[in-house]
């Protein structure tokens, strides 16, 4: 393994961790809103959130590249803020990953929130707990297993991301050159043994993650 | 009508599909009020509207404080109400103790009148505190839920058929606790049920609902014995009288009760002498004689005056209302007997009740 590989592993872990933490923060209120709202907007938002499940990653990457580019909506906004353009930066990758992995967090959380017995919320309200209080002390603890599922799925999904990264991030060492891209580089350069190290590592990683997930689910703690 | 500061004033309208709730009601903010009526008549909906869990049109006013009117809606969590649901809604991730503390913690210290120990003693939860709800029986769960609702230190306690989901043993286990609540706690309770025994054991006043409307409300026995209400048409039509335990007869296994100026014998009661209880006398267990019978197996013979007689020509039976002091008793006898004895309103007669047919509460 060379320094490029190590830096790719480090970058991948950083990207997956950042994305997971951000998505748990964003996904919680979003999933709760989707569970509780009667707004017509909810159906539309649900579809948007689920889009990455069916769209090819390159399509998402392509549109994000356009949107974040100098003539795109996001691009003009970030330029106006003085941040500059986001494509080919780590921040751009984080934003793309958040959108790309969103269904893997929002859907388990929404399922868990939905399955919390509504009469428990009525009971909490009758014990002087306001909605936030009831969410914090009743809904969150009862949904703890779903948070583990969501975090594992989101992390693993981000680690495996390739198409979006290639379209939006390119291949810049230390900034956007993640593991999956690095494997691609090795294969392109016919460095099969290097590719083996990384690909084999990914294989092992995926196996361990899924084993953990399934054993958790078997013990009754999880629904995905 | 009593002072508005002692009332729960309701004026609520709600439409849900085909169901219309239309309810104008002033209830005393004290004692035990039982709301009864067939399933689907809107009892639970009314309770949820009082609690603020369901949003109805109209006004709710408790002891001169507006909880709701056209421009105001106090959310459920801000109303000083506790609610015991049909299903025990304990929080499954918390132990019984933490469930109880959930309620207590949210009451400002200055407003805490009931301590954790009080509630635990009251409902006999000493040995259950460290258990999770799923390790409790249905009856134990509901007892814990009642304790939790008391710890919320409510100004008004709403109970929605709290015994309906329980088996008969659990019901019998909880009823005495509820009776203690009624006699000792001093929190007004609104209790929804359609079980006649719960109604007669617990109610001070009764609200009778039908298809989303209030059919009648008033003192328990006045409604039970009102011939214009469906309660008296029922096979189980009965009067409920207040009684005091006067003596126990260990030899014959009987208890002597005093009801006004009259004395009744009933099967032995476990309650101590001097305690107050109630007795439910089914109309079909009361027969009528013109003279005090000299040789009869029937142990209870009460002098009473006929108030009126309800006769339906298409039916075999007639319903006779009898006045004993202030209390009213019902007797269901055949129309033939009414004619044979030439019974009329105002006559003084003897009402006979078999001791064995009476079960003191």
Task: Pick the residue of B54, B83, B89, B159 with the most A CBs within 10 A to test the interface with A by mutation.
Answer: B89
Whether residue A195 contacts residue A187, with contact meaning beta carbons closer than 8 Å, is answered with yes
Alpha helix locations (H) across B123-274? 138-151, 168-184, 196-202, 220-224
Model confidence pLDDT, tens digit, residues A202-218? 899 889 988 888 887 76
Whether the CB of A119 is below 8 Å from some CB of chain B: the reply is yes
B-chain residues near A125 (CB < 8 A): 52-53, 75-77
Span A89-117, average pLDDT: 94
Q: Look at residue B1 and tell me whether its pLDDT is greater than 60.
A: no
d(CA A199, CA A205) in angstroms, rounded, equals: 10
pLDDT at position A48 is 93
List the single residue in A120, A125, A142 with the smallest CB-CB distance to B77.
Answer: A125
Confidence grade of residue B360 (pLDDT, cut at 50, 70, 90): low
- A137 at interface of B, judged by CB pairs closer than 8 A: yes
- pLDDT tens across B280-294, in order? 999 999 999 999 888
Q: Quick check: ipTM above 0.85? A: no
Residue from B78, B106, B112 whose CB has the most chain A CBs within 10 Å, to mutate: B106
Alpha helices in chain B (DSSP H): 43-51, 96-105, 116-122, 138-151, 168-184, 196-202, 220-224, 335-341
C-beta atoms of B149 and A122 within 8 A: no
Residue of B nearest to A144 (CA): B93
> Is pLDDT at A114 greater than 90 in this prediction?
yes
CA distance B60 to B43: 16
Q: Is A127 on the interface with B (CB under 8 A)?
A: yes
The answer, yes or no, to whether residue A224 has pLDDT greater than 50, is no
Looking at chain B, the whole-number percentage of residues with pLDDT higher than 70 is 99
Q: Do B91 and A120 touch (CB under 8 A)?
A: yes
* Total-model pTM: 0.84
- Residue A200, pLDDT score: 92
Calculate the average pLDDT of chain B: 90
Sheet containing B327-334: which strands, arranged edge to edge?
Answer: B286-289, B348-353, B300-311, B317-324, B327-334
Nearest by CB to residue A126, choosing from B81, B87, B93, is B81
> Which residues from A are below 8 Å from B133, CB to CB?
none
The 10s digit of each residue's pLDDT in A12-66 is 999 999 999 999 999 999 999 999 998 999 999 999 999 999 999 999 999 999 9
Q: Is B85 on the interface with A (CB under 8 A)?
A: yes
Look at residue B361 in the predicted model and tell me its pLDDT. 62
- What's residue B287's pLDDT? 93
Kindly report the nearest CA distance between residue A36 and chain B, in angstroms: 15
User: For residue A13, what are its two tokens?
Assistant: 């872990």
Q: Is the CB of residue B178 less than 8 Å from the CB of residue B139?
A: no
């Amino acid at each position: 393994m060379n320094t490029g590989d190590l830096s790719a592993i480090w970058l991948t872990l950083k990207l997956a961790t950042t994305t997971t933490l951000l998505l748990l923060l964003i996904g919680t209120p979003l999933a709760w809103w989707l569970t509780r709202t009667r707004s017509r907007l909810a159906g539309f938002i649900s579809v948007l959130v689920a889009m990455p499940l069916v769209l090819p990653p390159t399509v998402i990457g392509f549109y994000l590249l356009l949107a974040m580019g100098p003539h795109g909506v996001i691009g003009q906004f970030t330029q106006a803020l003085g941040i500059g353009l986001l494509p080919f930066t780590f921040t751009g990758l984080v934003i793309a990953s958040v959108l790309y992995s969103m269904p893997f967090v929002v859907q388990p959380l929404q399922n868990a929130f939905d399955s919390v017995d509504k009469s428990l919320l009525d009971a909490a309200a009758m014990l002087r707990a306001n909605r936030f209080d009831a969410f914090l002390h009743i809904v969150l603890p009862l949904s703890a297993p779903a948070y583990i599922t969501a975090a594992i799925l989101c992390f693993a999904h981000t680690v495996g991301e390739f198409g979006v990264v290639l379209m939006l991030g390119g291949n810049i060492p230390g900034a956007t050159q993640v593991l999956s891209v690095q494997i691609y580089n090795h294969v392109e350069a016919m460095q099969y043994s290097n590719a083996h190290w990384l690909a084999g590592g990914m294989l092992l990683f995926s196996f361990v993650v899924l084993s953990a997930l399934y054993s958790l689910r078997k013990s009754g703690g999880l629904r995905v | 009508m009593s002072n508005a500061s002692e009332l729960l004033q309701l004026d609520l309208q709600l439409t849900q599909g085909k169901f219309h709730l239309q309810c104008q009601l002033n209830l005393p903010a004290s004692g035990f009020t039982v709301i009864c009526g067939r399933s689907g008549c809107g009892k639970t909906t009314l309770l949820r509207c009082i609690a603020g869990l369901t949003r109805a049109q109209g006004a709710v006013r408790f002891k001169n404080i507006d909880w709701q009117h056209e421009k105001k809606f106090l959310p459920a969590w801000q109303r000083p109400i506790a609610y015991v649901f049909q299903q025990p809604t304990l929080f499954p991730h918390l132990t019984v103790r933490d469930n109880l503390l959930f309620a207590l913690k949210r009451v400002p210290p200055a407003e805490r009148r009931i301590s954790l120990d009080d509630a635990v003693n009251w409902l006999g939860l000493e040995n259950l505190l460290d258990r999770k709800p799923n390790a409790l029986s249905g009856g134990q769960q509901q007892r814990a839920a009642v304790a939790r609702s008391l710890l919320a230190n409510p100004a008004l306690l709403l109970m929605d058929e709290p015994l309906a989901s329980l088996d008969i043993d659990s019901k019998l286990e909880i009823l005495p606790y509820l009776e203690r609540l009624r006699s000792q706690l001093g929190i007004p309770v609104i209790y929804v049920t359609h079980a006649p025994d719960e109604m007669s054991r617990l109610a001070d006043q009764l609200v009778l609902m039908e298809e989303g409307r209030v059919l009648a409300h008033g003192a328990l026995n006045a409604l039970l014995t009102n011939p214009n209400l469906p309660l008296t048409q029922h096979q189980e039509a009965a009067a409920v009288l207040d009684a005091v335990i006067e003596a126990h007869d260990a030899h014959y296994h009987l208890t002597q009760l005093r009801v006004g100026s009259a004395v009744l014998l009933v099967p032995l009661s476990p309650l101590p002498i001097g305690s107050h209880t109630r007795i439910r006398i089914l109309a079909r267990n009361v027969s009528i004689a013109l003279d005090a019978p000299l040789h009869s197996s029937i142990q209870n013979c009460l002098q009473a005056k006929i108030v009126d007689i309800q006769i339906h020509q298409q039916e075999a039976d007639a319903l006779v209302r009898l006045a004993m002091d202030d209390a009213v008793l019902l007797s269901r006898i055949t129309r033939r007997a009414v004619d044979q004895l030439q019974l009329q309103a105002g006559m003084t007669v003897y009402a006979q009740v078999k001791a064995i047919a009476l079960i003191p509460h």
